[in-house]
Amino acid sequence: MAYTDHYILADGVITHLNGVVAGLTDQFLVSRYIGFVSVSAVTVYELAIKEIFTSFGEKKHKVLGQFTRNYFDQINGRIRTKELKERYLVLFGEKYVKRFVAKLEAAEKLSLRNARLSILTSYGNIITWRHQFAHEGQIPSTVTYAEIVQSYNAGKEVIKCLAESMQR
């Protein structure tokens, strides 16, 4: 399965909610939908990351494939860029860390120049918002539904950089 196939889960929910949220005036209810999108987003990010690492392992060697499948079954929300670099990529070798950092820097510059949007901030925000909603039942009051959807889509670029870095 391609790692991008996992996005279908959240993309479908977001497409449905776009129509629902547009007609709402109850800000409390909108905030719950924002929280739901953040949970869905991080879930598909986790699935995509697991897919990238396990596919890489399986292509390298059958035993490495089995190890990566078991190891990455337990990442559960620990997917910040720092963790990707320092906890996961380093296990495969420094060259993968360097590739990821270089690809992230290039993608960040491109996004800032073309869209005036930080993919790194967007990705980090989604994870923070998900944590606040899932563990505290709250979403910052300054986040709009449109911003969470934009951040989710921008954050996909971080995952794309990871996938491109894990090519042989």
Per-residue pLDDT of 126-163, as tens digits, reads 999 999 998 888 877 889 999 999 999 999 999 999 99
DSSP character string of 19-55: HHHHT---HHHHHHHHHHHHHHHHHHHHHHHHHHHHH
pLDDT of residue 102: 98
pLDDT of residue 148: 96
pLDDT of residue 142: 86
pLDDT of residue 114: 97
| Ranges of the chain with pLDDT below 50 | none
What is the pTM (predicted TM-score) of this model? 0.94
pLDDT of residue 20: 93
Number of helical (H) and strand (E) elements in the chain, helices listed first: 8, 0
pLDDT of residue 33: 93
